């Protein structure tokens, strides 16, 4: 632990360097760098959730060790990884702030909203049943939270300036994985749908969500597709059980399902761009880079690809990945942190690709 002298020095330093409300507002109203987002606002599920579920009565928590073991202070925050999530990495790379906080973090005030927050909730989905089963916020609840955030921003900098910030902000949406893993593949009630029909239902809800987001001020929207679900360690385990194989291999059928979904999503993104030309939309491909990491780990410095760092790496997610779990000593050698979520090392590569290929076009 820190010494008393260190804490005193830290307190004095914080006091001297903490920006005042006036300074924060001045920064927000300064001329915007059009090549860099003014703020980042994230919506969706666990790959974008910094801890919005922490105070909820749900099993979808990760605010316990060993989660967050590589965050500053090694303190679990509610992020489903060993360290930063993609938008934490991006907002830090852009020099906006060090991490993207959760909207429901009690330390987040109105001034913090001016540079962005995440409204995402682990275990949620586009299908409302997915969220209801886990007792987590639905996607429409996240839109309500965003509306509340905008109203709080307006009280600080006014309606005009808030509109200007939103116009130059990056909005990121990532959802759908839980719908497939925790719902379509496992819940009998959803077997009334064909795979294609379920995809269409999800994508219809996603399209509606994006339109409502635009209606609330979004102009630049990045939408992530599904990952190679069949390569997530939990699904690799399912594949091994169903085939009776002792070899841990990607579940090819579930990967193909993701490819079908992503193809349809790209068509929707194109349609949105054509019908709303004043906005900027982008499909974010997370399928290809994750699949490449799994198949060619040596290119990225990885050594383990079909199991997570936490516990056995085959089934542990959330509460099952806990302080009693045996944890690897070097998560950077693993593609996955737990049985469903990538490590910060894997996210770094995904964010690099996004910055190098899509960000400038979105912000132009």
> CA 249 to CA 261: how far, in whole Å?
21
Instruction: Name the catalytic one among 11, 61, 338, 352.
Output: 338
Instruction: Name the catalytic one among 45, 46, 62, 285.
Output: 46
> CA 131 to CA 162: how far, in whole Å?
30
Assess whether 55 carries a catalytic annotation.
Answer: no
Assess whether 341 carries a catalytic annotation.
Answer: yes
> CA 106 to CA 101: how far, in whole Å?
10
Question: Count of alpha carbons within 13 Å of 81, Cβ hemisphere only?
Answer: 27
Instruction: State how beta strands 116-118 and 170-174 pair.
Output: unpaired
Distances 83 to 17, 172, 298, 321 between C-alpha atoms, Å: 26, 19, 22, 15
Assess whether 240 carries a catalytic annotation.
Answer: no
> CA 248 to CA 338: how far, in whole Å?
15
Instruction: Name the catalytic one among 118, 285, 341, 364.
Output: 341
User: 312: which residues sit within 8 A by CB, 6+ positions away?
Assistant: none
Q: Which DSSP state fits 59?
A: S
**Active site (catalytic) residues:** 46, 338, 341
């Amino acid at each position: 632990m820190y010494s008393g002298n260190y804490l005193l020095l830290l307190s004095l330093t914080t006091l001297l360097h903490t920006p005042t409300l006036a300074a924060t507002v001045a920064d927000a109203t300064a001329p915007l760098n059009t090549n860099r987002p003014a703020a980042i606002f994230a919506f969706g599920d666990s790959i974008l959730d910094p801890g919005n579920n922490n105070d909820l009565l749900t099993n979808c928590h990760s605010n316990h060790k060993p989660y967050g073991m590589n965050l500053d202070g090694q303190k679990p925050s509610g992020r489903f990884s060993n360290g930063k999530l993609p938008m934490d990495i991006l907002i830090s790379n852009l020099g906006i702030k060090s991490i993207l906080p959760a909207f429901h973090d009690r330390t987040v005030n109105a001034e913090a909203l001016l540079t962005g927050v995440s409204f995402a909730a682990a275990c949620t989905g586009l299908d409302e049943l997915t969220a209801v089963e886990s007792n987590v916020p639905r996607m429409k609840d996240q839109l309500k939270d965003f509306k509340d955030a905008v109203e709080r921003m307006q009280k600080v900098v006014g309606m005009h300036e808030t509109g200007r910030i939103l116009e130059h902000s990056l909005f990121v949406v990532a959802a759908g994985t839980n719908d497939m893993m925790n719902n379509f593949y496992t819940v009998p009630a959803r077997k009334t749908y064909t795979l294609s029909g379920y995809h269409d239902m999800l994508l219809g809800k996603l399209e509606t969500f994006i339109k409502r987001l635009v209606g609330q001020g979004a102009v630049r929207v990045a939408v992530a597709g599904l990952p190679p679900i069949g390569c997530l360690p939990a699904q690799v385990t399912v594949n091994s059980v169903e085939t009776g194989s002792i070899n841990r291999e990607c579940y090819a059928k579930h990967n193909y399902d993701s490819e079908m979904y992503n193809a349809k999503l790209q068509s929707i993104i194109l349609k949105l761009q054509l019908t709303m030309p004043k906005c900027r939309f982008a499909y974010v491909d997370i399928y290809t880079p994750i699949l490449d990491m799994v198949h060619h780990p040596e290119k990225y410095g990885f050594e383990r690809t079909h199991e997570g760092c936490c516990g056995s790496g085959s089934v542990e997610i959330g509460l099952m990945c806990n302080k009693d779990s045996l944890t690897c000593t070097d998560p950077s050698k693993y593609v996955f942190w737990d049985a469903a979520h990538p490590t910060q090392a894997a996210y770094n590569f995904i964010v690099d690709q996004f910055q190098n290929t899509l960000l400038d076009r979105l912000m132009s």
